[in-house]
Amino acid sequence: MNNLEENLVKVIAFWKSSVKNDQLFPRTAESQVDILKDEIVAVMGPRRSGKSSFLKLLMQKLPEDSWLYVNFEDPFFIEENEVGVIEKLIDTYLEYFSSELKYLFFDEIQNIGKWEKAIRKYQETKKYKIFVTGSSSQLLSKEFSTVLTGRHKTIRILPLSFKEYLEFNNVVAERKTDYITKEGQIKKLFKQYLIMGGFPKVAIDKKPEVLKQYFYDIIEKDIMGRYQIRQGEKLERLTSYLLSNVARVYSVSALSKTFDLSWEYISLYIQYLKEAFVLNDLTQFSYSLKTQEKSQNKIYSIDNGLVTAVSFSFSENLGSMLENAASSHFFNSFNEVYYYKTKSNSELDFVLKNEEKIIALVQICADLTSPDTKQRETKALLEGSRELSCETLIVATLDFQGSEKIDGKDIIYVPLYKILLGLYPIE
């Protein structure tokens, strides 16, 4: 055994032990993996969302001798970073660990130069099921499609859903009665979730101060480093501004003046932020494509924790945080999501659409105690119902539940957490 082989054995053993020793929580995305299907699985998502843990969950269910796992952020690969090291790893595993190797798990594979050549080679042999993850600073989903020929599946690992957040906090509800008996815990954790979001480490450690570091890491490593951006301070200020103004429309022209950047740069930076899993934006619904293209978009964050990282007061932004949490759920649950302006210029927060049918109109309102607030929210729903021919009208609240008939139309009031947990399915 030469020095290189000795070092490779140590690296393989280290990462294998990390899988065995980690205590992990299940993720709903596991159901998307067909372990027997002949396809490469590419796992994508924002930094710190749990991509490595997701791979380990899969490995823990397989025979120990059947898989090789390596995280290429290991310091060993600072120097050993050429494509040939992948073949050496596999050969070393087969010689010193087991000849029963069937599964390859390669984490942060972008750290290896021309890695796609090795992956293509082993894909073509059809000997191994291959899983790869990449930092969003180097490998976005569209790039996987470019470099990986043949059959592959992309799985997005996002910050925790509220159901996953409950499980991470040891609140498991297997029956409908559990949601009733544990309602107090669920409500308390929902308010916590609205503030801290769903990044797994924050959910477990309850230390929201690390969210600011996540924010800087994404800006510096996933955007500035990737695109060689020199105007880092302006990018950081723009991102902070957008995160502080979630659930509002934005104007590229106005942002251009505010941050002294060209229209093109503002548009480009927002696109980078969307590709790096920081932001989502929402188009205004219209039956006219031209009107839709001319309208201003609304901005949302992929996770409330990133909003908390740059914002000052949660209590002042409760409605926006509630709406942002709703947006993340709707983006992941429906084919098409929009907002809408009625003919009288009332705003509908969400138009939910599957294929050709609008299935629900949803307003978000944290507090309905003011008659004026309630009248404003229901007015927008009633106008939207008439103009868009939709009868499912919902006001998602912090904790109020009820229903009433106004102008012959049924309006449902339901706590948002019940929608997030599937207790009030929108179909």
pLDDT digits (tens, 9 = 90+) for 179-200: 999 999 999 999 999 999 999 9
* The pLDDT value given to residue 137: 47
Q: What is the mean pLDDT of the chain?
A: 92
The pLDDT of residue 37 is: 86
Give the helix ranges, DSSP H, for 245-395. 252-259, 263-275, 289-294, 304-310, 318-333, 371-388
Residue numbers of the chain with a pLDDT score lower than 70: 136-150, 312-316
User: What is residue 175's predicted lDDT score, i.e. its pLDDT?
Assistant: 85
Question: Contact, 43 vs 71, CB < 8 A?
Answer: no
The b/e string for 314-328 (b: 16+ C-beta within 10 A; e otherwise) is beebbbbbbbbbbbb
What pLDDT shows up at residue 299? Answer: 97
How many C-beta atoms lie closer than 10 Å to residue 117's C-beta?
Answer: 14
In the block, tokens 């105007």 appear at 231
Distances (CA, A) of 181 to 68, 421, 425: 44, 15, 20
DSSP string, 26-94: --GGGGG--TTSSSEEEEE--TTSSHHHHHHHHHTTS-GGGEEEEETTSGGGGT--STHHHHHHHHHHH
Q: CA–CA separation, 191 vs 197, rounded Å?
A: 10
The CATH number of 3-156, from 3.30.465.10, 3.40.50.10860, 3.10.105.10, 3.40.50.300, is 3.40.50.300
- pLDDT tens for each residue of 363-401: 999 999 999 999 999 999 999 999 999 999 999 999 999
| Whole-angstrom distance, CA of residue 40 vs CA of residue 106 | 11
Q: Supply the pLDDT for residue 286.
A: 92
Q: Which of 63, 62, 59, 121 is nearest to 90 (CA)?
A: 121
pLDDT at res. 138: 54
Q: What DSSP string runs through 235-275?
A: HHHHHHHHHHTTTEEE-HHHHHHHHT--HHHHHHHHHHHHH
What is the model's pLDDT at position 154? 86
pLDDT in tens, 17-73: 999 878 889 899 999 999 888 889 999 888 899 999 999 999 999 999 999 999 999
